[in-house]
Structure 1
Amino acid sequence: MTSEEPALSPHGAVDAIDSVSVLAEESRRRMFTFIRRAGRPVTRDEAAASIGVSRKLAAFHLDKLVTAGLLRARYGDPGAPRRVGRQPKVYEPTDLQIAVSIPQRRHELLAGLLLEGVLGQTDGHTAAAAATGAAADAGRRLGEQERERSRPGRLGTERALTMCERMLDAYGYEPVRETPTRVRLRNCPFHPLAGQAAELVCGLNHAFLDGYLHGLDATAVQAVLAPSPGECCVVLTDPTASPQSRTRD
Protein backbone atom coordinates (compact mmCIF):
# COMPACT_ATOMS: atom_id res chain seq x y z
CA MET A 1 0.00 0.00 0.00
CA THR A 2 1.42 3.36 -0.95
CA SER A 3 0.93 6.66 0.80
CA GLU A 4 -1.56 7.48 -1.99
CA GLU A 5 -4.25 5.51 -0.13
CA PRO A 6 -6.67 8.17 1.09
CA ALA A 7 -7.69 8.71 4.65
CA LEU A 8 -11.42 8.53 5.21
CA SER A 9 -12.29 8.34 1.55
CA PRO A 10 -15.16 10.69 0.64
CA HIS A 11 -16.10 8.46 -2.27
CA GLY A 12 -17.71 5.46 -0.62
CA ALA A 13 -20.47 3.35 -2.14
CA VAL A 14 -23.21 5.91 -1.47
CA ASP A 15 -21.19 8.74 -3.05
CA ALA A 16 -20.33 6.56 -6.04
CA ILE A 17 -24.01 5.82 -6.58
CA ASP A 18 -24.77 9.54 -6.37
CA SER A 19 -22.10 10.27 -8.99
CA VAL A 20 -23.40 7.60 -11.33
CA SER A 21 -26.99 8.78 -10.89
CA VAL A 22 -25.98 12.20 -12.24
CA LEU A 23 -25.31 10.50 -15.57
CA ALA A 24 -28.82 9.01 -15.73
CA GLU A 25 -30.03 12.13 -17.55
CA GLU A 26 -29.35 11.55 -21.27
CA SER A 27 -28.28 15.08 -22.26
CA ARG A 28 -25.90 15.28 -19.32
CA ARG A 29 -24.43 11.87 -20.16
CA ARG A 30 -23.87 12.88 -23.80
CA MET A 31 -22.22 16.11 -22.70
CA PHE A 32 -19.93 14.25 -20.30
CA THR A 33 -18.97 11.79 -23.05
CA PHE A 34 -18.17 14.67 -25.41
CA ILE A 35 -15.90 16.34 -22.84
CA ARG A 36 -14.12 13.08 -21.99
CA ARG A 37 -13.37 12.43 -25.65
CA ALA A 38 -12.34 15.98 -26.50
CA GLY A 39 -8.82 15.50 -25.12
CA ARG A 40 -8.66 19.18 -24.10
CA PRO A 41 -10.53 21.67 -21.90
CA VAL A 42 -14.01 22.44 -23.29
CA THR A 43 -15.84 25.75 -22.98
CA ARG A 44 -19.45 26.10 -21.92
CA ASP A 45 -20.43 27.15 -25.46
CA GLU A 46 -18.77 24.08 -26.93
CA ALA A 47 -20.50 21.83 -24.42
CA ALA A 48 -23.86 23.41 -25.27
CA ALA A 49 -23.28 23.02 -29.02
CA SER A 50 -22.25 19.36 -28.61
CA ILE A 51 -25.79 18.35 -27.64
CA GLY A 52 -27.77 21.26 -29.10
CA VAL A 53 -28.97 23.02 -25.95
CA SER A 54 -28.83 26.58 -24.69
CA ARG A 55 -25.78 27.93 -22.88
CA LYS A 56 -27.86 28.34 -19.71
CA LEU A 57 -29.03 24.72 -19.76
CA ALA A 58 -25.48 23.56 -20.49
CA ALA A 59 -24.28 25.48 -17.44
CA PHE A 60 -26.85 23.64 -15.30
CA HIS A 61 -25.66 20.23 -16.51
CA LEU A 62 -22.00 21.18 -16.17
CA ASP A 63 -22.50 22.33 -12.58
CA LYS A 64 -24.14 18.99 -11.76
CA LEU A 65 -21.17 17.11 -13.23
CA VAL A 66 -18.68 19.26 -11.30
CA THR A 67 -20.57 18.76 -8.02
CA ALA A 68 -20.57 14.99 -8.61
CA GLY A 69 -16.78 15.05 -8.98
CA LEU A 70 -16.88 13.95 -12.62
CA LEU A 71 -15.62 17.24 -14.07
CA ARG A 72 -13.37 20.05 -12.86
CA ALA A 73 -13.85 23.67 -13.87
CA ARG A 74 -11.36 26.52 -14.14
CA TYR A 75 -10.95 29.79 -15.95
CA GLY A 76 -8.77 29.90 -19.03
CA ASP A 77 -8.82 28.48 -22.53
CA PRO A 78 -5.25 27.43 -23.43
CA GLY A 79 -6.14 27.06 -27.12
CA ALA A 80 -7.57 30.55 -27.57
CA PRO A 81 -5.71 33.84 -28.19
CA ARG A 82 -5.22 35.85 -25.02
CA ARG A 83 -7.99 38.42 -24.58
CA VAL A 84 -8.56 41.33 -22.27
CA GLY A 85 -10.61 40.43 -19.22
CA ARG A 86 -11.38 37.14 -17.58
CA GLN A 87 -10.88 34.02 -19.64
CA PRO A 88 -13.90 31.76 -20.20
CA LYS A 89 -14.60 28.88 -17.84
CA VAL A 90 -13.49 25.54 -19.21
CA TYR A 91 -14.27 22.00 -18.17
CA GLU A 92 -12.27 18.78 -18.21
CA PRO A 93 -12.63 15.30 -16.71
CA THR A 94 -11.26 14.56 -13.25
CA ASP A 95 -9.22 11.48 -12.40
CA LEU A 96 -12.09 10.09 -10.34
CA GLN A 97 -12.75 6.43 -11.09
CA ILE A 98 -16.17 5.19 -10.05
CA ALA A 99 -16.98 1.59 -9.25
CA VAL A 100 -20.32 0.75 -7.68
CA SER A 101 -20.70 -2.50 -5.78
CA ILE A 102 -23.43 -3.43 -3.33
CA PRO A 103 -22.28 -4.53 -0.84
CA GLN A 104 -19.14 -2.45 -1.20
CA ARG A 105 -15.88 -4.12 -2.21
CA ARG A 106 -12.30 -2.87 -1.81
CA HIS A 107 -10.43 -5.06 -4.26
CA GLU A 108 -8.13 -2.17 -5.21
CA LEU A 109 -6.96 -1.98 -1.59
CA LEU A 110 -6.23 -5.71 -1.52
CA ALA A 111 -4.49 -5.54 -4.90
CA GLY A 112 -2.24 -2.73 -3.66
CA LEU A 113 -1.24 -4.70 -0.59
CA LEU A 114 -0.48 -7.82 -2.63
CA LEU A 115 1.54 -5.77 -5.13
CA GLU A 116 3.65 -4.34 -2.32
CA GLY A 117 4.12 -7.87 -1.07
CA VAL A 118 5.45 -9.06 -4.41
CA LEU A 119 7.74 -6.04 -4.76
CA GLY A 120 8.94 -6.37 -1.16
CA GLN A 121 9.72 -10.06 -1.35
CA THR A 122 13.32 -10.96 -0.52
CA ASP A 123 15.22 -14.16 0.26
CA GLY A 124 14.38 -13.78 3.94
CA HIS A 125 11.03 -12.06 3.55
CA THR A 126 8.13 -13.78 1.78
CA ALA A 127 5.58 -11.95 -0.31
CA ALA A 128 2.88 -12.77 2.25
CA ALA A 129 4.96 -11.32 5.08
CA ALA A 130 5.75 -8.19 3.06
CA ALA A 131 2.07 -7.73 2.19
CA THR A 132 1.07 -8.16 5.84
CA GLY A 133 3.59 -5.51 6.84
CA ALA A 134 2.24 -3.21 4.12
CA ALA A 135 -1.30 -3.75 5.40
CA ALA A 136 -0.29 -2.85 8.96
CA ASP A 137 1.53 0.27 7.72
CA ALA A 138 -1.46 1.35 5.62
CA GLY A 139 -3.83 0.97 8.56
CA ARG A 140 -1.45 2.79 10.89
CA ARG A 141 -1.15 5.75 8.49
CA LEU A 142 -4.92 5.90 8.21
CA GLY A 143 -5.30 5.93 11.99
CA GLU A 144 -2.61 8.60 12.41
CA GLN A 145 -4.30 10.79 9.81
CA GLU A 146 -7.66 10.48 11.54
CA ARG A 147 -6.15 11.18 14.96
CA GLU A 148 -4.36 14.26 13.62
CA ARG A 149 -7.57 15.45 11.98
CA SER A 150 -9.89 14.95 14.96
CA ARG A 151 -7.44 15.34 17.90
CA PRO A 152 -9.60 13.20 20.21
CA GLY A 153 -7.25 13.08 23.22
CA ARG A 154 -7.33 9.95 25.35
CA LEU A 155 -9.65 7.39 23.78
CA GLY A 156 -11.92 5.26 25.93
CA THR A 157 -13.81 2.30 24.54
CA GLU A 158 -16.94 4.17 23.46
CA ARG A 159 -15.12 7.00 21.70
CA ALA A 160 -12.63 4.64 20.07
CA LEU A 161 -15.34 2.36 18.69
CA THR A 162 -17.33 5.34 17.41
CA MET A 163 -14.30 6.64 15.51
CA CYS A 164 -13.59 3.16 14.17
CA GLU A 165 -17.18 2.79 12.97
CA ARG A 166 -16.81 5.87 10.79
CA MET A 167 -13.74 4.48 9.02
CA LEU A 168 -15.24 1.00 8.78
CA ASP A 169 -18.40 2.39 7.21
CA ALA A 170 -16.37 4.40 4.68
CA TYR A 171 -14.43 1.28 3.69
CA GLY A 172 -17.52 -0.88 3.27
CA TYR A 173 -17.27 -3.10 6.35
CA GLU A 174 -20.88 -2.37 7.41
CA PRO A 175 -20.12 -2.16 11.17
CA VAL A 176 -22.79 -3.11 13.69
CA ARG A 177 -22.48 -2.35 17.41
CA GLU A 178 -23.42 -5.74 18.87
CA THR A 179 -22.86 -4.56 22.42
CA PRO A 180 -21.48 -1.33 23.94
CA THR A 181 -17.98 -2.84 23.79
CA ARG A 182 -18.05 -4.89 20.59
CA VAL A 183 -18.38 -4.06 16.87
CA ARG A 184 -19.00 -6.81 14.36
CA LEU A 185 -18.40 -6.22 10.64
CA ARG A 186 -21.27 -7.52 8.53
CA ASN A 187 -19.49 -7.20 5.18
CA CYS A 188 -16.11 -8.39 3.95
CA PRO A 189 -14.80 -5.78 1.47
CA PHE A 190 -12.49 -8.44 0.02
CA HIS A 191 -15.18 -11.01 -0.80
CA PRO A 192 -15.15 -13.31 -2.78
CA LEU A 193 -11.34 -13.31 -2.89
CA ALA A 194 -11.22 -14.00 0.83
CA GLY A 195 -12.89 -17.33 0.17
CA GLN A 196 -10.15 -18.34 -2.27
CA ALA A 197 -7.27 -17.62 0.12
CA ALA A 198 -8.83 -17.12 3.53
CA GLU A 199 -5.64 -17.36 5.59
CA LEU A 200 -3.80 -14.79 3.46
CA VAL A 201 -6.65 -12.31 2.96
CA CYS A 202 -7.93 -12.51 6.54
CA GLY A 203 -4.36 -12.01 7.77
CA LEU A 204 -4.01 -8.85 5.66
CA ASN A 205 -7.41 -7.60 6.83
CA HIS A 206 -6.52 -8.20 10.48
CA ALA A 207 -3.15 -6.44 10.06
CA PHE A 208 -4.85 -3.46 8.37
CA LEU A 209 -7.44 -3.00 11.12
CA ASP A 210 -4.90 -3.64 13.90
CA GLY A 211 -2.62 -1.05 12.31
CA TYR A 212 -5.49 1.43 12.23
CA LEU A 213 -6.09 1.01 15.95
CA HIS A 214 -2.39 1.53 16.66
CA GLY A 215 -2.29 4.67 14.50
CA LEU A 216 -5.39 5.96 16.24
CA ASP A 217 -3.79 5.11 19.62
CA ALA A 218 -7.00 3.33 20.57
CA THR A 219 -5.45 1.12 23.24
CA ALA A 220 -8.83 0.25 24.78
CA VAL A 221 -9.89 -1.68 21.67
CA GLN A 222 -8.42 -4.70 19.90
CA ALA A 223 -8.97 -6.20 16.44
CA VAL A 224 -9.63 -9.90 16.98
CA LEU A 225 -9.93 -12.67 14.40
CA ALA A 226 -13.40 -14.18 14.85
CA PRO A 227 -14.58 -15.57 11.49
CA SER A 228 -18.32 -15.86 10.97
CA PRO A 229 -20.05 -17.19 7.81
CA GLY A 230 -20.99 -14.40 5.42
CA GLU A 231 -19.29 -11.67 7.48
CA CYS A 232 -15.85 -10.13 7.98
CA CYS A 233 -13.34 -12.25 9.86
CA VAL A 234 -12.48 -9.49 12.38
CA VAL A 235 -14.39 -7.96 15.27
CA LEU A 236 -13.36 -4.94 17.32
CA THR A 237 -13.76 -5.38 21.04
CA ASP A 238 -12.64 -4.18 24.44
CA PRO A 239 -10.81 -7.18 25.94
CA THR A 240 -11.25 -5.84 29.49
CA ALA A 241 -15.04 -5.67 29.28
CA SER A 242 -17.13 -8.01 31.41
CA PRO A 243 -18.27 -11.26 29.76
CA GLN A 244 -21.88 -10.03 29.85
CA SER A 245 -21.05 -6.93 27.81
CA ARG A 246 -19.22 -9.04 25.20
CA THR A 247 -22.11 -11.45 24.69
CA ARG A 248 -24.08 -11.23 21.44
CA ASP A 249 -27.53 -9.78 22.08
Structure 2
Amino acid sequence: MSSALEAVAVLGDDLRRRLYDHVRRSPAPVTRDEAARDAGISRKLAAFHLDKLVAVGLLSVSYARPAGLRRAGRTPKVYAPAETSLQISIPPREHGLLAGILLRAVRHQAPGESGTDAALRSAASHGRSLGAADRDRLRPGRLGPERALTYVADLLERHGFEPARDAPTRMSLRNCPFHPMAADDPDLVCAINHAFVSGLLDGLGATTLDATLAPRPGNCCVTLATRPPSP
Protein backbone atom coordinates (compact mmCIF):
# COMPACT_ATOMS: atom_id res chain seq x y z
CA MET A 1 0.00 0.00 0.00
CA SER A 2 2.73 2.50 0.94
CA SER A 3 4.56 2.11 -2.39
CA ALA A 4 1.30 2.60 -4.28
CA LEU A 5 0.56 5.73 -2.27
CA GLU A 6 4.03 7.07 -3.05
CA ALA A 7 3.43 6.47 -6.75
CA VAL A 8 0.11 8.28 -6.65
CA ALA A 9 1.73 11.18 -4.81
CA VAL A 10 4.42 11.43 -7.50
CA LEU A 11 1.76 11.49 -10.22
CA GLY A 12 0.02 14.32 -8.40
CA ASP A 13 2.50 16.66 -10.07
CA ASP A 14 1.05 17.71 -13.46
CA LEU A 15 4.43 17.74 -15.21
CA ARG A 16 5.32 14.25 -14.02
CA ARG A 17 1.94 13.03 -15.09
CA ARG A 18 2.48 14.40 -18.60
CA LEU A 19 5.93 12.80 -18.79
CA TYR A 20 4.55 9.50 -17.56
CA ASP A 21 1.69 9.59 -20.08
CA HIS A 22 4.13 10.38 -22.89
CA VAL A 23 6.33 7.39 -22.03
CA ARG A 24 3.30 5.08 -21.80
CA ARG A 25 2.00 6.23 -25.20
CA SER A 26 5.34 5.91 -26.92
CA PRO A 27 5.83 2.75 -29.04
CA ALA A 28 9.51 2.63 -28.02
CA PRO A 29 11.56 3.63 -24.97
CA VAL A 30 11.94 7.38 -24.61
CA THR A 31 15.15 9.34 -24.08
CA ARG A 32 15.42 12.34 -21.79
CA ASP A 33 15.76 14.61 -24.82
CA GLU A 34 12.57 13.25 -26.37
CA ALA A 35 10.64 13.59 -23.12
CA ALA A 36 11.92 17.14 -22.65
CA ARG A 37 10.85 18.17 -26.15
CA ASP A 38 7.38 16.74 -25.71
CA ALA A 39 6.90 18.50 -22.36
CA GLY A 40 8.56 21.75 -23.48
CA ILE A 41 11.08 21.73 -20.62
CA SER A 42 14.84 21.44 -20.24
CA ARG A 43 16.57 18.09 -20.47
CA LYS A 44 17.83 18.46 -16.90
CA LEU A 45 14.34 19.04 -15.53
CA ALA A 46 12.97 16.12 -17.55
CA ALA A 47 15.71 13.86 -16.18
CA PHE A 48 14.86 14.87 -12.62
CA HIS A 49 11.17 14.03 -13.00
CA LEU A 50 11.73 10.86 -15.03
CA ASP A 51 14.07 9.51 -12.35
CA LYS A 52 11.42 10.28 -9.72
CA LEU A 53 9.01 8.11 -11.69
CA VAL A 54 11.61 5.34 -11.80
CA ALA A 55 12.20 5.60 -8.04
CA VAL A 56 8.54 4.78 -7.24
CA GLY A 57 8.35 1.94 -9.75
CA LEU A 58 6.24 3.57 -12.46
CA LEU A 59 8.97 3.60 -15.10
CA SER A 60 11.96 1.41 -15.84
CA VAL A 61 15.27 2.74 -17.12
CA SER A 62 17.96 1.23 -19.30
CA TYR A 63 20.70 2.35 -21.67
CA ALA A 64 20.21 2.18 -25.43
CA ARG A 65 21.41 4.20 -28.37
CA PRO A 66 18.44 5.11 -30.59
CA ALA A 67 18.57 3.93 -34.20
CA GLY A 68 20.39 6.37 -36.46
CA LEU A 69 22.18 8.15 -33.60
CA ARG A 70 25.92 7.95 -34.28
CA ARG A 71 27.11 10.61 -31.85
CA ALA A 72 30.08 9.57 -29.75
CA GLY A 73 29.84 9.58 -25.98
CA ARG A 74 27.78 7.91 -23.32
CA THR A 75 24.84 5.76 -24.33
CA PRO A 76 21.72 7.67 -23.27
CA LYS A 77 19.21 6.53 -20.71
CA VAL A 78 15.86 5.46 -22.08
CA TYR A 79 12.61 5.13 -20.14
CA ALA A 80 9.76 2.66 -20.56
CA PRO A 81 6.63 1.78 -18.55
CA ALA A 82 7.45 -0.55 -15.67
CA GLU A 83 5.90 -4.01 -15.79
CA THR A 84 3.96 -3.42 -12.62
CA SER A 85 0.41 -2.44 -11.83
CA LEU A 86 -0.68 -0.34 -8.89
CA GLN A 87 -3.99 -0.42 -7.08
CA ILE A 88 -5.10 1.56 -4.07
CA SER A 89 -8.21 0.89 -2.04
CA ILE A 90 -9.12 2.38 1.31
CA PRO A 91 -10.14 0.28 3.12
CA PRO A 92 -8.12 -2.54 1.51
CA ARG A 93 -9.82 -4.78 -1.03
CA GLU A 94 -8.56 -8.12 -2.36
CA HIS A 95 -10.74 -8.66 -5.40
CA GLY A 96 -7.81 -10.37 -7.14
CA LEU A 97 -7.62 -12.91 -4.33
CA LEU A 98 -11.31 -13.76 -4.65
CA ALA A 99 -11.04 -13.92 -8.44
CA GLY A 100 -8.08 -16.30 -8.17
CA ILE A 101 -9.97 -18.56 -5.78
CA LEU A 102 -12.96 -18.71 -8.12
CA LEU A 103 -10.79 -19.24 -11.20
CA ARG A 104 -9.06 -22.23 -9.58
CA ALA A 105 -12.45 -23.56 -8.54
CA VAL A 106 -13.64 -23.53 -12.15
CA ARG A 107 -10.42 -25.11 -13.42
CA HIS A 108 -10.39 -27.93 -10.87
CA GLN A 109 -14.06 -28.58 -10.24
CA ALA A 110 -14.49 -32.31 -9.76
CA PRO A 111 -17.14 -34.30 -11.64
CA GLY A 112 -20.41 -34.07 -9.76
CA GLU A 113 -19.08 -31.34 -7.45
CA SER A 114 -21.20 -28.22 -7.08
CA GLY A 115 -19.78 -24.83 -7.91
CA THR A 116 -20.15 -23.77 -4.28
CA ASP A 117 -18.27 -26.81 -2.97
CA ALA A 118 -15.52 -26.27 -5.55
CA ALA A 119 -15.19 -22.62 -4.48
CA LEU A 120 -14.96 -23.52 -0.79
CA ARG A 121 -12.40 -26.22 -1.48
CA SER A 122 -10.36 -23.78 -3.57
CA ALA A 123 -10.52 -21.12 -0.83
CA ALA A 124 -9.37 -23.53 1.86
CA SER A 125 -6.56 -24.85 -0.34
CA HIS A 126 -5.31 -21.37 -1.15
CA GLY A 127 -5.45 -20.37 2.51
CA ARG A 128 -3.43 -23.45 3.48
CA SER A 129 -0.80 -22.63 0.86
CA LEU A 130 -0.39 -19.07 2.12
CA GLY A 131 -0.27 -20.22 5.73
CA ALA A 132 2.29 -22.92 5.01
CA ALA A 133 4.52 -20.36 3.30
CA ASP A 134 4.66 -18.36 6.56
CA ARG A 135 4.73 -21.27 9.00
CA ASP A 136 8.51 -21.22 9.55
CA ARG A 137 8.49 -17.46 10.13
CA LEU A 138 5.52 -17.22 12.46
CA ARG A 139 5.48 -20.70 14.04
CA PRO A 140 2.23 -20.07 15.92
CA GLY A 141 1.95 -23.76 16.75
CA ARG A 142 4.85 -23.37 19.18
CA LEU A 143 3.26 -20.45 21.00
CA GLY A 144 0.56 -20.14 23.59
CA PRO A 145 -2.89 -19.46 22.09
CA GLU A 146 -2.94 -15.75 22.94
CA ARG A 147 0.46 -15.10 21.39
CA ALA A 148 -0.51 -17.24 18.39
CA LEU A 149 -3.49 -14.94 17.88
CA THR A 150 -1.13 -11.96 17.75
CA TYR A 151 1.12 -13.62 15.17
CA VAL A 152 -1.81 -14.66 12.97
CA ALA A 153 -3.01 -11.05 12.98
CA ASP A 154 0.18 -10.09 11.12
CA LEU A 155 -0.64 -12.32 8.18
CA LEU A 156 -4.31 -11.35 8.09
CA GLU A 157 -3.30 -7.68 8.11
CA ARG A 158 -1.33 -8.23 4.91
CA HIS A 159 -4.46 -9.47 3.19
CA GLY A 160 -6.57 -6.49 4.21
CA PHE A 161 -8.67 -8.00 7.01
CA GLU A 162 -7.81 -5.28 9.57
CA PRO A 163 -7.73 -7.57 12.63
CA ALA A 164 -8.64 -6.04 16.00
CA ARG A 165 -8.21 -7.67 19.41
CA ASP A 166 -11.57 -7.59 21.19
CA ALA A 167 -10.31 -9.59 24.16
CA PRO A 168 -7.13 -11.49 25.04
CA THR A 169 -8.63 -14.63 23.51
CA ARG A 170 -10.72 -13.17 20.69
CA MET A 171 -10.03 -11.20 17.52
CA SER A 172 -12.49 -9.69 15.07
CA LEU A 173 -11.74 -8.75 11.48
CA ARG A 174 -12.96 -5.21 10.94
CA ASN A 175 -12.70 -5.16 7.15
CA CYS A 176 -14.03 -7.53 4.49
CA PRO A 177 -11.44 -7.56 1.70
CA PHE A 178 -14.07 -9.00 -0.66
CA HIS A 179 -16.50 -6.10 -0.24
CA PRO A 180 -18.61 -4.95 -2.12
CA MET A 181 -18.93 -8.28 -3.93
CA ALA A 182 -20.04 -9.82 -0.66
CA ALA A 183 -23.25 -7.77 -0.98
CA ASP A 184 -24.16 -9.63 -4.21
CA ASP A 185 -24.08 -13.07 -2.58
CA PRO A 186 -23.25 -12.75 1.12
CA ASP A 187 -23.80 -16.43 1.92
CA LEU A 188 -21.34 -17.59 -0.74
CA VAL A 189 -18.70 -14.90 -0.24
CA CYS A 190 -18.79 -15.22 3.55
CA ALA A 191 -18.45 -19.00 3.26
CA ILE A 192 -15.44 -18.53 0.95
CA ASN A 193 -13.96 -16.06 3.42
CA HIS A 194 -14.41 -18.52 6.30
CA ALA A 195 -12.89 -21.38 4.29
CA PHE A 196 -9.92 -19.21 3.33
CA VAL A 197 -9.18 -18.06 6.90
CA SER A 198 -9.67 -21.59 8.27
CA GLY A 199 -7.30 -22.95 5.63
CA LEU A 200 -4.77 -20.27 6.49
CA LEU A 201 -4.84 -21.30 10.16
CA ASP A 202 -4.43 -24.91 9.12
CA GLY A 203 -1.46 -24.09 6.90
CA LEU A 204 0.18 -22.07 9.66
CA GLY A 205 -0.25 -24.93 12.10
CA ALA A 206 -2.17 -22.63 14.46
CA THR A 207 -3.89 -25.54 16.20
CA THR A 208 -4.90 -23.47 19.23
CA LEU A 209 -7.10 -21.12 17.19
CA ASP A 210 -10.52 -21.41 15.57
CA ALA A 211 -12.15 -19.32 12.84
CA THR A 212 -15.89 -18.87 13.29
CA LEU A 213 -18.43 -17.64 10.77
CA ALA A 214 -20.19 -14.78 12.56
CA PRO A 215 -21.52 -12.14 10.13
CA ARG A 216 -21.77 -8.60 11.52
CA PRO A 217 -22.81 -5.45 9.65
CA GLY A 218 -19.83 -3.39 8.53
CA ASN A 219 -17.26 -6.06 9.44
CA CYS A 220 -15.78 -9.22 8.03
CA CYS A 221 -17.98 -12.25 8.66
CA VAL A 222 -15.17 -14.22 10.37
CA THR A 223 -13.90 -13.98 13.93
CA LEU A 224 -10.97 -15.81 15.50
CA ALA A 225 -10.67 -17.10 19.04
CA THR A 226 -8.46 -19.36 21.08
CA ARG A 227 -9.75 -22.86 21.64
CA PRO A 228 -10.85 -23.67 25.17
CA PRO A 229 -8.43 -25.96 26.98
CA SER A 230 -9.15 -29.64 26.77
CA PRO A 231 -10.79 -31.09 29.88
> What is the TM-score with the length of structure 2 in the denominator?
0.86
Determine if the alignment matches structure 1 residue 226 to structure 2 residue 214: yes
Query: Does the residue aligned with 2:51 lie in a helix, a strand or coil?
Result: helix
Kindly report which structure 2 residues correspond to 1:5-20, keeping only aligned pairs within 5 A, or say none: 12=1, 14-20=2-8
Paired residues, what number? Answer: 228
User: Residue 84 of structure 1: CA displacement?
Assistant: 7.9
Determine if the alignment matches structure 1 residue 110 to structure 2 residue 105: no
The partner residue of 2:155 within 153, 167, 182 is 167
Matching residue's letter, 1:118: V
1:124 is aligned to 112
Question: 1-side partners of 2:63 and 2:44: how far apart?
Answer: 17
Max radius of gyration: which structure?
2
Question: 2-side partners of 1:55 and 1:35: how far apart?
Answer: 15
Kindly report which structure 2 residues correspond to 1:74-153, keeping only aligned pairs within 5 A, or say none: 74-77=62-65, 79=67, 87-148=75-136, 150=137, 152=139
Gaps of 5+ in 1: 1-11, 242-249
Gaps of 5+ in 2: none
- Which region of structure 1 is more displaced relative to structure 2, 41-50 or 29-38? 41-50
Higher relative contact order (CA 8 A, sep 6+): 1
Question: 1-side partners of 2:221 and 2:68: how far apart?
Answer: 57
1:42 is aligned to 30
Change (3 A) 1:25 1:119: same
Question: 1-side partners of 2:186 and 2:20: how far apart?
Answer: 41
Query: Does the residue aligned with 2:61 lie in a helix, a strand or coil?
Result: strand
**RMSD of Structure 2 on Structure 1 (CA):** 2.5
Question: 1-side partners of 2:134 and 2:69: how far apart?
Answer: 46
Deviations 1:211-232 (A, max 9, x none): 2112222222222111111100
Contact 1:222 1:236 in 2 (8 A): yes
Percent of aligned positions that are identical: 51
Change (3 A) 1:200 1:176: same
User: Residue 62 of structure 1: CA displacement?
Assistant: 2.0
Determine if the alignment matches structure 1 residue 216 to structure 2 residue 204: yes
Query: Does the residue aligned with 1:92 lie in a helix, a strand or coil?
Result: strand
Matching residue's letter, 2:92: Q
> What is the TM-score with the length of structure 1 in the denominator?
0.80
